[in-house]
Amino acid sequence: MKVLIDHSECTGCGSCVDVCPVEAITIVDEKAVVSDECTLCGMCVDSCEFEAIEMPELTAKEEDVGEYRGVWYFAEQRDGKIHPISFELASAGRKLADKLEVDLCGILFGHNMEAACEELIKYGTDKVYYVDYPELLNFNEERYANILTYLITKYKPEIFLAGATAIGRTFIPRVAASVKTGLTADCTGLDIGDDGLLHQTRPAFGGNVMATIICPHGRPQMATVRHKVMAACECVDHEGVVEKVEVAEDLLKRRSELLEIIHAEDDTAQLTDAEVIISGGRGLQKAENFELLEKLAKLVIGAVGASRSAVDAGWIAASHQVGQTGRTVAPTLYMACGIS
């Protein structure tokens, strides 16, 4: 699909050609022509002073946004236990919901997890939509995506948050594509702007700049958030309700089967949750010097981190990288060695 040009209004001025970032517009016989390279960014629409360019799909979306209301988050669970990022999302979502004066709802897939629903309510959730089936206890991309797409289509939330975890990164983009909306990944900041839109902040261009992204046309406005970026704030006296949702059998179908779960034994898997982290940078001068940090980390029962420059130099695996372009951490003690 590409933008539509009304040739009866087009003067061939070329302003759309100048602003197109992918060079998808050319002037043929004094009229603008759009190629299949068009990415629907919309820059040409704004540039045309004769209003000869339009994107009907986005115009229709603009009219529909009023039907969407409420803030949702996906409550991730593993082995029947709520992942800590779910509480962080609940707390972040609570602030957004308060600004918009709407309800905060959590979405939980699992089995025999009624107590977990009550936990989510304690972190500010007004309603938990709980989908309870044995097939949902372990993650399956197809099932999770199908059911979440169904729920979003039925209830129409205006904002949807999920964790930037292995699970979130796997199926949330699929859901966003299914409901035809935008998704901002790995956010480090969320806020409601004066325009009433979700302002999503994330690192861009390798972490050299921080970009704030909005989604004015698509709904819901979807974002994934990194673990430990948002603080989890318990609301002890908060009251909420749990609504069990039944779904059609077709939504539980899947084409793959989980055979076995093998938990990682690598120490880097614990980097995000480590209370003590000892990180090395370019100042260590060579890969062998990271062995000193590893010895120290074992003595203090900590984990080894690294700067981007050390990882880029090939001195240590990328799984050790911390910061905006790596893992987000919040240790009690952080020691930086050779990092400027």
Give me the pLDDT at residue 110, please: 94
Could you tell me if 28 and 101 lie in one domain? no
> For helices 166-178 and 141-155, what crossing angle results, to 10°?
50
Could you tell me if 32 and 114 lie in one domain? no
Predicted structure pTM score: 0.73
Could you tell me if 222 and 280 lie in one domain? no
Q: Is residue 261 domain-resident?
A: no
Could you tell me if 209 and 114 lie in one domain? yes
CATH, residue 289: 3.40.50.1220
Terminal-to-terminal C-alpha distance of the chain: 48
Give me the pLDDT at residue 60, please: 46
Q: Domain boundary residue among 226, 252, 278?
A: 252
Determine the residue type at 310.
Answer: A
Residue 337 and residue 201: Cα distance in Å, rounded? Answer: 29
How would you write the pLDDT of the chain (340 residues) with one tens digit per residue? 678 899 999 999 999 999 998 899 999 999 999 998 887 788 899 899 999 998 766 554 554 777 899 999 999 999 889 999 999 999 999 999 999 999 999 999 999 999 999 999 999 999 999 999 999 999 999 999 999 999 999 999 999 999 998 899 999 999 999 998 989 999 989 999 999 999 999 988 776 788 899 988 889 999 999 888 888 888 778 899 999 999 998 899 888 888 888 776 655 557 877 888 999 999 999 999 999 998 998 888 888 999 999 999 999 988 899 887 788 787 889 999 989 7
Structural contact between residues 67 and 160, judged by C-beta atoms closer than 8 angstroms = no
Q: Is residue 286 domain-resident?
A: yes
Residue 147 and residue 251: Cα distance in Å, rounded? Answer: 6
CATH, residue 162: 3.40.50.620
Q: Is residue 259 domain-resident?
A: no
Q: How many domains does the chain have?
A: 3
Could you tell me if 94 and 21 lie in one domain? no
Give me the pLDDT at residue 265, please: 60
Structural contact between residues 88 and 227, judged by C-beta atoms closer than 8 angstroms = yes
Q: Is residue 262 domain-resident?
A: no
Could you tell me if 73 and 153 lie in one domain? yes
Give me the pLDDT at residue 185, please: 92
Q: Is residue 60 domain-resident?
A: no
Q: Is the peptide bond before 134 cis (omega within 30 degrees of 0)?
A: no
Give me the pLDDT at residue 66, please: 78
Q: Which residues span the domain enclosing 30?
A: 4-54
Nearest to 72 by CA among 129, 119, 20, 16: 129
Residue 277 and residue 188: Cα distance in Å, rounded? Answer: 20
Could you tell me if 95 and 179 lie in one domain? yes
Could you tell me if 133 and 190 lie in one domain? yes
Could you tell me if 47 and 73 lie in one domain? no
CATH, residue 39: 3.30.70.20
Q: Domain boundary residue among 201, 224, 252?
A: 252
Q: Is residue 247 domain-resident?
A: yes
Residue 106 and residue 241: Cα distance in Å, rounded? Answer: 10
Nearest to 31 by CA among 46, 12, 16: 12
